Chains A and B, each alone.
Chain A
Amino acid sequence: MAAPKKAAASSPHDKTDGGSPPEFTKEQELKALRDMLLIRRFEEKAGQLYGMGAIGGFCHLYIGQEAVVVGMQMALKEGDQVITGYRDHGHMLATGMDANGVMAELTGRRGGYSKGKGGSMHMFSKEKHFYGGHGIVGAQVSLGTGLAFANNYRSNGNVSVTYFGDGAANQGQVYESFNMAELWKLPVIYVIENNRYAMGTAVSRASAQQDFSKRGVSFNIPGKQVDGMDVRAVKAAGEEAAAWCRAGKGPYILEMQTYRYRGHSMSDPAKYRTREEVEKVRHDQDPIEQVRNRLLAAKVSEADLKAIDAAVRDIVNASADFAQHDPEPDASELWTDVYR
């Protein structure tokens, strides 16, 4: 299916641009490395704590997809909002939320972002413009469109970055939202994180149109497929999309082609794909290794990179320590925050 001609001129439904994305400066590479490592180490630790029984319920890890949120965050400006679904730990850390508060929420403690009342899927930070953390697949798409509506209402020049997966992309309210966003020219970037599996269902088994960048075609929303394993490509696409939104041209769709290394949740036996498939992506495309290799090629020393890793591990270990020793919420918290 081709994009309409008229739309194609000004709003391309591109495949990933040929050639390499714009190079990062050394500082940008180091920042990307550090932010992605923080997410990876945090998620590894969360997985461990889950195995130990310290984290209950659902726990959806972001390992493998780190370049998406880190690259997008590098394309944003202060005040831009972020909203996502239930695989949200990476998004929170990328927006600058405190690792202690996130980990303590995972363990259901009073120092968690939601005082222990939200859990893995439901955390928020007004200060960091992070609007959740939503457990109903697809609900965040209408909500994120509402954030963009508010930006438009206030003419504040901000953009709503609304993340959802290839699975949520099949929900009806996504298209209701696309329609309104384009109709009202709302500044929203729809970031579809295509990690190839909606829980255990491969994209090919669930989606009639597997090119998610074209999911906005019937609404004239431009879209682009992006190598979501390359943080530079993500940032470049994010900047392009944000500029489109800020120019008052309406929404933009970015399909981030990415991969989740871990199961859908901690209880996922992952029988729907082979170990070899996972290993191949890890080996060939790992977003963190890509940056590390470029830095090493640019003569950054192994020792310097190790120091970054060590600093990140310190933050993560401290968060795990905090999250296991912080008290549970007071029993009186059961009754608070129902109404204001």
Chain B
Amino acid sequence: MPIQVLMPALSPTMEKGNLAKWLKKEGEAIKSGDVIAEIETDKATMEVEATDEGTLGKILIPEGTADVAVNTPIATILADGESAADLAKAPAPAAKAAESAPPAAAKAEAPAPKAAPAPQAVAEPDPEVPEGTEMITQTIREALRDAMAEEMRRDPDVFVMGEEVAEYQGAYKVTQGLLQEFGARRVIDTPITEHGFAGVGVGAAMTGLKPVVEFMTFNFAMQAIDQIINSAAKTLYMSGGQMGCSIVFRGPNGAAARVAAQHSQDYSAWYSNVPGLKVVAPFSAADYKGLLKAAIRDPNPVIFLENEVLYGHTGEVPKLDDFVIPIGKARIVRAGSHVTIISWSNGMTYALKAADELAKDGIEAEVIDLRTLRPMDTETIVNSVKKTGRAVTVEEGWAQSGVGAEIAARIMENAFDYLDAPVARVAGKDVPMPYAANLEKLALPSAAEVVEAAKAVCYR
């Protein structure tokens, strides 16, 4: 019976991709291991290898087709003795035909993003954007790249360094095109040596250069955390204001998908504990761009926490010559009067979904995107809680000593008399991140948990 070749996934989170190229023609003989096609997403290209022998019977998806869903049959292989007449007998798509080769470099080939629609159902206008501004739709990945490119054009002291940022175009393709525009002097591939290159970056920054140091993920930055905290964060103070450093440490933080405990930790609470650092963790594409530009210009060390799951998400970014969002300002993205939900980064996904659900039950949630964790915009939180009398925090990190705990303390300190219920925290479960899909889902917060917490504080 003819065998179907299915559209493979480059990663567990990939939902669709482009069929870039067929390397075999219909009627051509195929041996196991032959590369028959190339597929790509916006971050990577991969070869499709045949695992079966025979003849390429029919190409079902022509090359150049975009957005082919994973598991769609893309071709049929005829076994020895079969002919085109047997094609009709091909099994249903569920059958296993050709498997994709596993991603080559585990470190680089972390899951590709979902090609999801704009995540933010923004009800409130963005105060940073003048009315009538033309907006362009772009992915968060592109917004980050544009922010770096614009700042590099503006200031020759800005440079980018990290693993795979140059030739490879970024492990997550965030630095795509920067090497081509700015050259190897300013876009620097480092060896796999986080502790060392973080220190090199800080040393360069002490002389007045403005490094943007990319960590492939913040999980690997634990190797470098001594330089980040002891050298970058404390030197200004220890030198009596004489010598500080303007440096951005950026990269994906928190849980991706199916990468297990060592690659899934949220460091929001860790870095936001440290005076001398600023910590930014945006959610929307516009905020990613405007805040990264602000971070690069900031004279202090800034930890810029990105989220890998969001990289492929698209959003509206203002088409302005110089769109910079000030660090330290939260944003009310949805107005409401019954309960305040406070989150940041990918936690906003759950928060906004929950707000939609709650609205169906007549509960109007006010959703605050914190955007910056240090300095924290206490005023926006407190003003909202004074209005609603109830608050829920949402974070992917652990609850103990977490950012939610800090927010709850600030609400207690500043708005205790306005509270109608204790502050509720929705957080990552108190376990290392498991690998199994069902357990991983359980370990992360969910919109349902946010809904439940919001109803609880509303006594509903």
A201-257, CB < 8 A from B = none
A177 at interface (Cβ–Cβ under 8 A)?
A: yes
Contacts of B159 in A (CB 8 A): 153
Residue in chain B with minimal CB distance to A125: B242
Cβ-closest 7 pairs across A and B: A146-B203, A142-B199, A176-B196, A115-B240, A143-B203, A114-B240, A337-B241
Per the bound structure, the CA–CA distance linking A145 and B198 in Å amounts to 11
> B193 to A337, Cβ gap below 8 A?
no
B137 at interface (Cβ–Cβ under 8 A)?
A: no
B237 at interface (Cβ–Cβ under 8 A)?
A: yes
A147 in complex: contacting residue of B190, B204, B226, B231, CB < 8 Å: B204
> B199 to A150, Cβ gap below 8 A?
no
Beyond A149-B204, A177-B199, whether A142 also contacts B227 by CB under 8 A is yes
A85 to chain B, nearest CB (A): 12
> B203 to A144, Cβ gap below 8 A?
yes
Beyond A113-B242, A122-B238, A180-B196, whether A338 also contacts B276 by CB under 8 A is yes
> B205 to A146, Cβ gap below 8 A?
yes
Task: Convert B202-243 into 0s and 1s, putting 1 for each residue whose CB lies closer than 8 angstroms to a CB of A.
Answer: 111111110000000000000000110011000111111111
Beyond A118-B240, A126-B242, A126-B243, whether A143 also contacts B300 by CB under 8 A is no
> B185 to A153, Cβ gap below 8 A?
yes
A141 at interface (Cβ–Cβ under 8 A)?
A: yes
> B237 to A337, Cβ gap below 8 A?
yes
Contacts of A173 in B (CB 8 A): 195-196, 199, 227
Residue in chain A with minimal CB distance to B241: A337
Task: Convert A66-101 into 0s and 1s, putting 1 for each residue whose CB lies closer than 8 angstroms to a CB of B.
Answer: 000000000000000101000000000000000000
Contacts of B203 in A (CB 8 A): 83, 131, 142-150
Task: Convert A142-163 into 0s and 1s, putting 1 for each residue whose CB lies closer than 8 angstroms to a CB of B.
Answer: 1111111110010000000000
Beyond A131-B243, A336-B241, A338-B276, whether A142 also contacts B206 by CB under 8 A is no
A199 to chain B, nearest CB (A): 19
A201 to chain B, nearest CB (A): 21
Beyond A139-B227, A150-B204, whether A122 also contacts B191 by CB under 8 A is no
B201 at interface (Cβ–Cβ under 8 A)?
A: yes
Contacts of B206 in A (CB 8 A): 131, 143, 146-147
Per the bound structure, the CA–CA distance linking A124 and B199 in Å amounts to 17
Per the bound structure, the CA–CA distance linking A87 and B283 in Å amounts to 46
B244 in complex: contacting residue of A83, A136, A150, A340, CB < 8 Å: A340
Per the bound structure, the CA–CA distance linking A123 and B243 in Å amounts to 10
> A114 to B276, Cβ gap below 8 A?
no
Per the bound structure, the CA–CA distance linking A136 and B230 in Å amounts to 8
A47 at interface (Cβ–Cβ under 8 A)?
A: no
Beyond A124-B242, A176-B196, A180-B197, whether A339 also contacts B204 by CB under 8 A is no
A130 to chain B, nearest CB (A): 10
Most buried by A among B190, B226, B237, B238: B238
A117 at interface (Cβ–Cβ under 8 A)?
A: yes
B275 at interface (Cβ–Cβ under 8 A)?
A: yes
Task: Convert B408-445 into 0s and 1s, putting 1 for each residue whose CB lies closer than 8 angstroms to a CB of A.
Answer: 00000000000000000000000000000000000000
A141 to chain B, nearest CB (A): 7
A264 at interface (Cβ–Cβ under 8 A)?
A: no
16 contacts between A and B (CB under 8 A): A124-B239, A126-B242, A131-B203, A133-B238, A136-B231, A139-B230, A139-B231, A141-B199, A142-B198, A144-B203, A146-B199, A339-B236, A339-B300, A340-B236, A340-B244, A340-B299
A residues contacting B by CB (< 8 A) are 81, 83, 112-118, 122-126, 131-136, 139, 141-150, 153, 172-173, 176-177, 179-180, 183, 336-340
Contacts of A338 in B (CB 8 A): 236-237, 275-276
Beyond A143-B203, A149-B200, whether A122 also contacts B185 by CB under 8 A is no
A263 to chain B, nearest CB (A): 24
B11-31, CB < 8 A from A = none
A219 to chain B, nearest CB (A): 11
Contacts beyond the supplied A132-B239, A148-B203, A338-B237: 20 A-B pairs with Cβ under 8 Å = A112-B240, A114-B238, A116-B240, A117-B237, A117-B238, A124-B235, A139-B230, A142-B195, A142-B199, A144-B203, A146-B200, A146-B201, A146-B204, A147-B207, A150-B204, A150-B207, A173-B195, A177-B196, A337-B241, A340-B300
A135 to chain B, nearest CB (A): 8
Per the bound structure, the CA–CA distance linking A112 and B240 in Å amounts to 9
> A114 to B195, Cβ gap below 8 A?
no
Per the bound structure, the CA–CA distance linking A339 and B278 in Å amounts to 9
Residue in chain B with minimal CB distance to A158: B207
Per the bound structure, the CA–CA distance linking A134 and B193 in Å amounts to 21
Per the bound structure, the CA–CA distance linking A132 and B245 in Å amounts to 13
Contacts of A118 in B (CB 8 A): 238-240
Per the bound structure, the CA–CA distance linking A125 and B242 in Å amounts to 7
Contacts of A117 in B (CB 8 A): 237-238, 240
A134 in complex: contacting residue of B196, B208, B231, CB < 8 Å: B231
B86 to chain A, nearest CB (A): 57
Residue in chain B with minimal CB distance to A142: B199
B199 in complex: contacting residue of A113, A122, A143, A339, CB < 8 Å: A143
> A122 to B239, Cβ gap below 8 A?
yes
> B240 to A136, Cβ gap below 8 A?
no
Residue in chain B with minimal CB distance to A116: B240
Per the bound structure, the CA–CA distance linking A176 and B191 in Å amounts to 8
B226 in complex: contacting residue of A123, A136, A149, CB < 8 Å: A136
Per the bound structure, the CA–CA distance linking A153 and B227 in Å amounts to 21
Residue in chain A with minimal CB distance to B226: A136
